[in-house]
Amino acid sequence: MTDLDTVLSIIENPTRRRILEALVREPHYPLQLSRELRMSQQAIMKHLKVLEENNLVRSFLMESDRGGPARKVYVPIRGFSILVDVGPGLFNVEILSRENFDIESRTDLNTQEKENIDFDLFCQKYSEMRNQIEAIDKELEELQNRRCALIEKKERILSETRELVESYIGDYEARRVIYESVKHPTLTAAQIAKALGLRDEVVEEILSAINGRG
């Protein structure tokens, strides 16, 4: 998966976000995107090149349903979520990748097969899918509310940590080590040292002094 900084630099561009929004809906060829986004095909191709070079989309030739020459279409090949948490004592940015992003199933039906789909069945499936998405959205909202509550609780603890550390610890580097240790309890002394650019023995000495009193 493309690294976080690269993904952020790519999707900060509003045109590329609109392109991705169209591609996750269904495969598009450049002329379609040009018409939908009301931009020149040359400009669209420039953005598609960036997305393809960074493994967010891929292209392939699709046969025309009107008997014309095959056309190059683009589809997304990576699913991901970006989480950004900023609050008192808290700053966290991470990317969650979903590598099993399914794109092949979208291009399995040819024109004749699509025309032969029973309309009553279509309406039934349409209603079922809407209901399923509604249920999923409700569950996601509940999870997000739960996550927000946990983040707020974490912020309160980190704020209390900051006040406590500032009251008792005069050395700046020692405070950094303690903050990092509290924010990331599973990190070893060596990992904290690497994250902060300090020597292992410095971090070990600071943590040993605190843990020895705890």
Chain segment 127-167, per-residue pLDDT in tens: 999 999 999 999 999 999 999 999 999 999 999 999 999 99
Secondary structure of residue 28 in the 3-state scheme: strand
Q: Name the token pair of 184.
A: 């990331």
CA–CA gap between residue 178 and residue 203 (Å, rounded): 9
Chain segment 116-136, per-residue pLDDT in tens: 678 888 899 999 999 999 999
In the Cβ-directed half-sphere of 161, how many Cα atoms lie within 13 Å?
19
Chain segment 175-197, per-residue pLDDT in tens: 999 999 999 999 999 999 999 99
Q: Name the token pair of 143.
A: 């999870």
